[in-house]
Structure 1
Amino acid sequence: MNVVSDSLKSGSALADDYINRFSQVQDLYGDDFRREESWSNRAAWLSDSEGTRVDRKALVDCLRQYNSKHNDHKEVHNSLDLLAQTSTLAVVGGQQSGLFTGSLLVVYKALTIILAAREAQEKLQRPVVPVFWIAGEDHDWDEVNHTYVMTPELQVARIKMDAVPGPKSSVSHIRVSPEQWKQALGHLAALLPDSVNKPEIMQLLNQAAEESGNLSDAFAKLLGILFGELGLILLDSADPDLRQLEVPIFERIIQQNDELGQTYQASASRITGQGYQLQADVAEDGANLFYIYEGNRLLLQKQQGNFVDRKGVVNFTKDELLTELRDHPEKFSNNVLTRPLMQESLLPVLGTVLGQGEISYWAITKDAFPALGLKMPILLPRMSFTLVNGTLRKYMEHFGLSFQDVQHRFDDARRNWLNAETGLHVDPKFEETRSAFEKLYEPLIRELGTIQPGLIPLGEKNKDKILEQISYLERKTKQALEKQHEAALRQWEQIYVSLFPMGKPQERVYNIFYYINRYGFSWIHDILESCKSYTPEHQIIEM
């Protein structure tokens, strides 16, 4: 396995500047993750602010109970033992609970958390544990109910689990039936090519499904299989036992809701004022909390001092909402702007691992932390990878393609190669023919118009038909050339579908088990060994 760095196109200008030009956006964030002093200063602040977070023992007891059910590894319990000690810090990152873990970026986020915790522990000479925050309280089922693999026919195949009709509830509370699991597993089994690894994969996935009544539980079990032996602690934000511990934090968010809202508005204005787009909604009347009513997760907003949902289904005064919180904490959950505050209030967060979209919207929360006596943690960009096997590398070398060619110039490179192979530059030749025809035909039409004006529209119509026939011949010529070079063009297609399926980076589309089926389970750990240290730069893994 060889690892080389190469850039990947960014989806966020703000995140790109945070990673590559921090000085330009420093006022929107906290400490620079690249500076050694940022880590030592953060560690010192966490030691001094132990009292701002929930009781460690209660938190560890809650996490131990959850991990014993879904991630019961000796190394995880060792991490939990360490977390119970006041000297221990954490590197935290999270993701929604996708089908069969979702796309590769979920796995890469877990790898980043583990690697960053190891490095920080060595750097600071104090315990640092990795924690993965499963966003089970999110309710967008359509974002998590599918995943993708590549078929032998070079098609990107979607595996989807349809939801049973019901309330729009948190993913962790949406029941998944045995029949739904069976259908999704059957689809995956049909798409994965036979391999020495496939029986073990399907056995593990079937076992996780049998022991899980929802996507979040299965997600946790699979993360445990992949990373439990590396000591990765799991946390489900929808865990009812955890929600009990969160009541005091929710109380403060409700009591200081106006102040928090003002900080979000001010930050949003600074971000847009510097020319960046907002990556999260910052409603002027937003309460940035969800309330679960009859199974539906309703986003609260403020109207005339009360907390209501958009449709007016629920309506609470501040005191009524606080009473409801104390009586029914399980009915409350965070949105993207209050989740960082909750994470900071629960765990001694040294650094939090974020994707580019998350880095962008966390900028909105910077001034909300001090409002609760907290401080924004170090934001660590998730590590990014593209897997390139030997066959793909051979094809790319044969066609003289770099990774950047595939990413930015693929269609042009493919067309130029085909033209060079045939010795016939189809596009310019037909363009030249069209231009020459129009140059000759336009004067003729004008001349015919002197004979009879009605001949002009007839001539224009005739010209369009001839141009249409030239275009038809051009298409047929290209099809004939592609047929003539069908085998080589299939290799071109394999390169692109493998590296940029659906025009997106590989890590945002394909599922981890597609690659485990080919390379076995060990390659995930091999990445950890191959990456000598954390880096925010995109890396190509040559398998």
Structure 2
Amino acid sequence: MNVVPEPLPGGPALARGFMDNDEAAAHFYGGHFHMPHNKRQRAAWLDESAGARADRGRLTQVLRAYNAKYNNHEAVRQSLDLLERPETLVVAGGQQSGLFTGPLLVIYKAVTAILAAREASRELDRPVVPLFWIAGEDHDWDEVNHTYVLNRSGEVTKLKIEAPETGRSSVSHIEVGQEAWGQPLEQLEELLQESEFKAEMMELMRTSARTGSMSAAFAEIMGSLFGKFGLVLLDSADPELRRLEQPFFRSLIENNEVLEADYHRTAADIKAGGFQLQADVTEGGANLFYIHEGARLLLIKKDGVFTDRKGTVSFSREELLDLLDRHPERFSNNVLTRPLMQDYLLPVLATVLGQGEISYWGITGRAFGQMGMRMPLIIPRMSFTIVEGTLHKHLEKYGLAFGDVLEGLEEKKRRWLEAQDELELGRRFEETKAAFAAMYDPLIEQIGTVQAGLIKLGGSNKEKILDQISFLQGKVEDAMAKQSEAALRQWERIERSLMPLGRLQERVYNIMYYLNRYGLSWLDELMEIPADYSGTHRIIYM
């Protein structure tokens, strides 16, 4: 592998400002950069505040039970043994549980967490374990029920899994039967090219499908890929975890109005700084969900009670706290309280975030302080585009760089096609049309002296002749394009491989194409790439 930096334009301005250490953005995060001196300060604070977090013994007990089901590796057991010790810290990252792991960025987030934990452990001379937070409590099924594969013909293909009516159930609680897994598994096997690794990859996918839910299948695959690196998995929808989170949910309910005010103040400051908000901060928002008859309802405060937008449920504060005592599994965080809950559960040294996540974490700064916490260090997720060997040759053949692909190739492809016209037929057709018009226009003027109505007829006749010349020109261009069909397919392959659906490769394609082609050892090579926590996009030339 050859890895080359390729900074990308755009992205959320607040996240970009944070990564560039721009004070206008960085102060929303308390200057919490992934630097050695900040790591030491954060570690010292975590030691001092250990009593304010969830009990480590109970936490590791819950995580052992979960990982024994889906991530039962010796390295993971060692990580959990370490986590039980008071000096051990965590580097956490997380994502929703997508079909066959979802897009490549999920893989890159796990890699970032593992490498950052190793580095921090060396620098601090104390154990730091990587942990992946599966956002199984999220309820948007349509966000996770599909993935995309580059098929053997070089086309972008969408795989999707159907499930019974899901309503607003948490993804981890949606049962997916074996019959539902059948179609995407068959599609995947058909789409992937034959390789020495295909049988192993398909068996991994089939094994994961037997687990019964999307989140469980996701955990099974992530464990198979990263368990040997000691990556601990956590499902935010785990009922056993809810019991541990119960005291902090109580604090979130009791301090709800103050927290809401903090979110609004910070959101106003962010907008005043010229930045856009990446998460909604709504008036009266409780920033908590309540699970009612399987549906995950976002709570708001209205007329002194906690309710939802449709009024399906309604509780006084006392009633809500009583329900929390009896049924903690019915409560769930939103994007603004999840960062706080993560910090309550775990001794988080640093958290791995994508640019969108960095932006909405900026809203939580005051809320961390309100709850007696400090925002953890933030590590931008590593970002890559994979360029395979044949594709690299195509880029060089047509004199293209990755930046050209980002901008769009239509104009460059058009110019390339024009350059293939060695007979200069395009120029000659245009000259012919211009010469014809130059000869015909004076004639039309002259016939107008014979009869005025002939001018209109002459103009119409001229346009028909020009249309016929253009028609012939189009036919010639089509014939030339057919002669360049193989080359045009290469142009299409470049776009579909590097910017599928007009988006970055890591946001669309699934890892299965690459594992099928290069085997599980490809992940080992990925783990050997020098870590870069600046957020700079990089190109991996295979």
Q: TM-score, normalised by structure 2?
A: 0.93
Match of 1:88 in 2: 88
* Cα distance in 1 between the residues matched to 2:340 and 2:40: 21
Q: Which residues in structure 2 correspond to 1:37-436 (within 5 Å)?
A: 37-210=37-210, 212-423=211-422
SS of equivalent to 2:147 = strand
SS of structure 2 residue aligned to 1:530: coil
Pick which of 6-15 and 461-470 moved more: 461-470
3-state SS of paired residue (2:306) = strand
1:495-522 per-position Cα deviation (integer Å, ceiling 9, x unaligned): 1111111111111111111110000011
Paired-residue identity, %: 55
Counterpart residue number, 2:519: 520
Cα deviation digits, residues 342-378 of structure 1 (max 9, x gap): 1011111111001111111111111110111111111
| Change beyond 3 A, Cα 1:51–1:152 | same
**CA distance in structure 2 between the partners assigned to 1:219 and 1:245 by the alignment:** 23
- Report how many aligned residue pairs link the two structures: 542
Farther off after superposition, 146-155 or 330-339: 146-155
User: Equivalent residue of 1:165, what SS?
Assistant: coil
Letter in structure 1 aligned against 2:171: V
Q: Distance in 1 between matches of 2:440 and 2:285?
A: 64
Aligned-partner Cα distance in 2 for 1:56–1:443 = 94
C-alpha distance in structure 2 between counterparts of 1:269 and 1:440, whole Å:
68
For residues 35 and 435 of structure 1, what CA distance do their matches in structure 2 show?
Answer: 67
Match for 1:243: what amino acid? R
What is the deviation of 1:159? 0.5
Change (3 A) 1:510 1:424: farther
Conserved? CA contact 1:139–1:297, under 8 Å: yes
- Distance change in 2, residues 1:365/1:542 (3 Å): same
Distance 1:208 1:473, change over 3 A: same
Distance change (3 Å), C-alpha of 1:159 and 1:465? farther
* Contact 2:287-2:336 within 8 A present in 1 as well: yes
Give the secondary-structure state (helix, strand or coil) at the position aligned to 1:366: helix
Displacement after TM superposition at 1:20 (Å): 2.4
- Mapped partners of 2:367, 2:439: distance in 1: 70
Per the alignment, do residues 117 and 480 of structure 1 end up closer, same or farther by CA in structure 2, a change over 3 Å counting?
A: same
Q: CA separation of 1:401/1:247 partners in 2, compared to 1, >3 Å: closer, same or farther?
A: same
Q: Is the 8 A contact 1:115 1:534 kept in 2?
A: no
Letter in 1 for 2:110: A
| Pairs within 5 Å for 1:444-463 | none
Distance 1:428 1:339, change over 3 A: farther
Matched residue SS, 1:136? coil
Return the TM-score normalized by structure 1.
0.93
1:426/1:515 CA distance change after superposition, 3 Å: farther
Please give the per-residue CA displacement for 1:445-470, whole angstroms capped at 9, x wherever unaligned: 99999999999998998888778767
Paired residue for 1:15? 15
Structure 1 residues 193 and 326 mapped into 2: Cα distance closer, same or farther (>3 Å)?
same
C-alpha change, 1:29 and 1:166, in structure 2 (3 Å) is closer
Distance 1:194 1:436, change over 3 A: same
Q: Which one is further off, 214-223 or 425-434?
A: 425-434
Counterpart code for 1:234: L
* Greater mean deviation of Cα atoms: 477-486 or 230-239: 477-486
Tell me the distance in 2 between the aligned counterparts of 1:7 and 1:142.
31
Q: Equivalents in 1 of 2:312, 2:425: separation in Å?
A: 63
The structural deviation recorded for 1:55 is: 0.8
In structure 2, relative to structure 1, the CA distance for the partners of 1:408 and 1:308 (3 Å cut) is same
In structure 2, how many angstroms separate the alpha carbons of the residues matched to 1:444 and 1:169? Answer: 77
Q: Is the 8 A contact 2:115 2:531 kept in 1?
A: no
1:36-92: CA deviation from partner (whole Å, max 9, x where unpaired): 322221111111111221111111111111101110111101111111111111100
Q: Unpaired segments of 5 or more residues in structure 1? A: none
Contact 1:150/1:157 (8 A) holds in 2: yes
- Pick closer, same or farther for the CA change 1:128–1:428 going to 2, 3 Å: farther
1:69-128 CA distances to partner (integer Å, 9 max, x unpaired)?
Answer: 110111101111111111111100100000010111100000000001011111111111
Change (3 A) 1:59 1:492: same
> Quick one: structure 1 residues 207 and 470, their matched pair in 2 at CA, closer, same or farther if it must change by over 3 Å?
same
| SS of corresponding position for 1:367 | helix
Residues 240-281 of structure 1: CA deviation (Å, up to 9, x unaligned): 000010111111111111111111111111222222221111
Secondary structure of residue in 2 paired with 1:531: coil
Closer/same/farther in 2, CA of residues 433 and 500 from structure 1, 3 Å limit: farther
Which 10-residue stretch deviates more, 452-461 or 312-321? 452-461
**Cα distance change on mapping 1:486 and 1:373 into 2, 3 Å:** same
Structure 1: which amino acid aligns with 2:370? A
SS of the counterpart of 1:186?
Answer: helix
- The CA distance in 2 between the partners of 1:468 and 1:331, in whole Å, is 70
| Larger displacement relative to structure 2 (25-34 or 307-316) | 25-34
Contact 1:115-1:533 within 8 A present in 2 as well: no
Q: Which amino acid aligns with 1:398?
A: K
What residue identity is the alignment partner of 1:403? F
Q: 1:435 to 1:199 in 2, by over 3 A?
A: same
Task: Report if aligned partners of 2:284, 2:301 keep a CA contact under 8 Å in 1.
Answer: yes
- Contact kept in structure 2, 1:52 and 1:374, CA below 8 Å: no
Distance in 2 (alpha carbons) for counterparts of 1:456 and 1:55: 93
Larger mean CA deviation between 127-136 and 464-473 belongs to 464-473
Quick one: distance in 1 between partners of 2:304 and 2:432?
A: 72
Q: Is 1:28 aligned with 2:28? A: yes
Specify the code of the residue in structure 1 equivalent to 2:98.
G
Look up the match of 1:484: 483
Instruction: Rate the CA distance shift 1:371–1:392 in 2: closer, same or farther, 3 A.
Output: same
Question: CA–CA distance in 1 between the matches of 2:460 and 2:365?
Answer: 63
User: Which amino acid in the other structure matches residue 377 of structure 1?
Assistant: P
Give 1:134 deviation, angstroms: 0.1
Three-state SS of the structure 2 residue aligned to 1:422 is coil
